[in-house]
Amino acid sequence: MASIRLARPASSFCSRLIPSASRPLSTSAVLRASTSPTTESSSSDSAKKLKPLTQEQRDYLSSALRVNQAGELAATLIYSAQSPLIVRKHPHLRPLMAHMYDQEAAHFSTFNNLIHKHRVRPTALYPLWSVLASGLGWSTAIMGREAAMACTEAVETEIGNHYNEQIRSILEMIAEWEAQGYDVSGEIKQLVDTLRRIRDEELEHLDHAVENDARKAEPHWLLTNVIRAGCRGAIWEYVGETKLK
Ligand SMILES: [Fe+2]
Ligand SMILES: [Fe+2]
């Protein structure tokens, strides 16, 4: 896929890093902890200059926003397809399904706003992802509550890893700037915070799925591995050639 440039001035996509709030340990705590902040600027850094993004960094950030927006679209469609079937048979799951859908819709809106703000072209594969995501949601819901939860477990495991990789890459970029004596500006700081918050919410969905018998799905191993491979393939389609070296 051709790489897309951020149209805004390169220096606008930078910021200082702040630590995220600590959270209680859970099934996914290790994933969360793996991208804990490693650097923090002091107020004395405020006079430092910002370093313009390289073309490689602009391409990376553009593809990151694009794949995140496409992924969150898919998430809303999976929950939209699953919810009616699951809630009809298991009314007690209505609040949980609604809660997870609402968070996915908010994530989608966040990345819609970001790709609009930075003039990043959205995915051209909307129709394909829409059909695949709705089909995945519907088919796992037909298989039952456990399979639907196994779908969430698989998707959120991959998405949690995906967001962690993005956070790690951006933190490495920030550490490099700081080592070179540059400051890090507000937009990168905000992006890291946004990615951390969304990553944490995805991993909460993973915990909810496990608590609701995802691992009792039959056959759990096959179902989750097929879905996880599909997620990795979809992510690779977007970011495979634009990783930061
Ligand atoms: Fe999401
Ligand atoms: Fe999610």
The predicted pLDDT at position 10 comes to: 36
pLDDT tens column, 164-212: 999 999 999 999 999 999 999 889 999 999 999 999 999 999 999 999 9
Centre of ligand 1 from the C-alpha of residue 75, in Å: 6
Q: Are 65 and 4 in contact (CB under 8 A)?
A: no
Q: How many Cα neighbours within 13 Å face the side chain of 4? A: 21
> What is the DSSP secondary structure assignment for residue 22, as one 8-state letter?
P
Largest Cα separation within the chain, whole Å, is: 60
Out of 2-11, 49-58, 231-240, which region has the weakest mean confidence (pLDDT)?
2-11
Measured CA angle at 21 (ends 196, 97), to 5 deg: 60
The predicted pLDDT at position 14 comes to: 34
Please state whether the peptide bond connecting residue 219 to the residue before it is cis, i.e. omega within 30 degrees of 0: yes
Residue 154 confidence (pLDDT) above 70: yes
Binding-site residue ranges? 72, 104, 107, 156, 202, 205
pLDDT tens column, 94-147: 999 999 999 999 999 999 999 999 999 998 888 998 999 999 999 999 999 999
Centre of ligand 2 from the C-alpha of residue 103, in Å: 7
Residue 240 confidence (pLDDT) above 90: no
Q: Which of 18-22, 50-54, 81-85 has the highest mean pLDDT?
A: 81-85
The predicted pLDDT at position 198 comes to: 98
Please indicate, yes or no, whether the overall pTM of this predicted structure exceeds 0.85. no
Residue 23 confidence (pLDDT) above 80: no
> What's the gap between Cα 93 and its chain centre?
24
Centre of ligand 1 from the C-alpha of residue 237, in Å: 18
Centre of ligand 1 from the C-alpha of residue 2, in Å: 25
The ranges assigned to domains in the chain are 54-239
Binding-site residue ranges for Fe cation? 72, 104, 107, 156, 202, 205
